Amino acid sequence: MCFRRNEPQKLKYSTIRYCSPYSIYERVQLDDGDVMMVKGVYEMLQMAAGSGSKSFNDFTKISIKGKHLSSATVSKRLDELIKIEAIKETITRSKKGRRIITYKTTEKGRKVIAHARELEEVLAAQSDK
């Protein structure tokens, strides 16, 4: 669901962002309506919550519906997740002085993952009916 720039739409709890014909949203169908989720956020949080810290290139290997996340998408999602403190960015230096940036899910990010899993369970239960 995309809206024109001059027509901002409000949802019950959040505002829908503007998007191009190349939608950044995944639509999750519910009986009483749609839930819009930003592509890559859940997958990136799950990956960063795994063992060890993850690098930017690790996130570009994520595949959703047969397509990998682009570098631009990964960069934008990381900025958004860092801003809301769902992912922590750690910058270190290699022996040669090169910056090494790694990412790890925070407690807030793990709560988001838990809520998303609950939503998946509800959706799975509804689809079984």
Express each pLDDT in 1-16 by its tens digit. Answer: 344 444 444 444 443 4
**Which ranges in the chain are annotated with CATH 1.10.10.10?**
39-128
Give residue-wise pLDDT tens across range 117-129.
887 787 778 777 6
Task: For the domain covering 39-128, report its CATH number.
Answer: 1.10.10.10
Tell me, rounded to whole angstroms, the distance of Cα 87 from its chain centroid: 11
Radius of gyration of the chain measured on its C-alpha atoms: 17
Residue type, 37: M
Other C-beta atoms closer than 10 Å to the C-beta of 39 total 18
pLDDT of residue 23: 44
